[in-house]
Amino acid sequence: MDMRARISTALKEAMKNREPERLSTLRLINAAIKDKDIALRTEGNEDGVTDGDVLAILGRMVKQRQESARAYEEGGRLDLAERERAEIAVLQEYLPRALGEEEVEMAITQALEETEARTIRDMGRVMGVLKEKYNGRMDFAAVGPQVRKRLS
């Protein structure tokens, strides 16, 4: 089952089970997917959103909520921070399992070998390979500096 179908099914189940917090998060996901779908279609891409696009959307949504939760905590609004964390939990149900430290190191090594990267100029190709293979499974903001360090 593709990502869109999984999310639609979960949305219907949340309605049936009367889970308002989960339902609102799933509706936000659906809205973000539809926005991306509309944007792609206006660019001439009639296929619409792929599973990779959905993973990227979910990853961005998780990151946004993590930043919001941090800001709420710093502002003393623990109730709002807790709501953000609840949304993160729902979002993460649809993301693949994140890679561990050792797996990230192995993935970087494989990408370096695959692209035959030697200098910092090759970093874009390495990151492209990593994003293609591990989209939604690693934090690229943290991986970038690791790749840069290995290429220096």
Which pLDDT value is given to residue 21?
A: 92
Tell me the fold of 101-151: Arc Repressor Mutant, subunit A (1.10.10)
Which range, of 25-29, 32-36, 80-84, 134-138, averages the lowest pLDDT? 134-138
Whether the CB-CB separation of 54 and 40 falls below 8 Å is answered with no
The most confident of the ranges 67-76, 89-98, 99-108, 114-123 is 67-76
Percentage of the chain lying above the pLDDT 70 cut: 99
Residue 149 banded pLDDT, cuts 50, 70, 90: confident
Helix ranges (H only) for the chain are 3-16, 20-42, 51-74, 78-92, 101-115, 123-134, 140-151
- The SS3 of residue 75 is coil
Which range, of 6-10, 14-18, 69-73, 140-144, averages the lowest pLDDT? 140-144
Which pLDDT value is given to residue 1?
A: 60
Q: Tens digits of per-residue pLDDT, 90-111? A: 998 888 887 888 888 898 888 8
CATH number of 3-92: 1.10.1510.10
* Chain centre to alpha carbon of residue 110: 22
Same CATH topology for 3-92 and 101-151: the answer is: no
Single-letter amino acid code for the residue at 76: G
- What stretch of H or E contains 45? none
Averaged pLDDT score across all residues of the chain: 88
Which pLDDT value is given to residue 70?
A: 93
Which pLDDT value is given to residue 44?
A: 82
Secondary structure of 96-131 in the HEC alphabet? CCCCCHHHHHHHHHHHHHHHCCCCHHHHHHHHHHHH
With both helix axes pointing from N to C terminus, report the angle between 20-42 and 51-74 in degrees, rounded to the nearest 10: 130
| Domain ranges across the chain | 3-92, 101-151
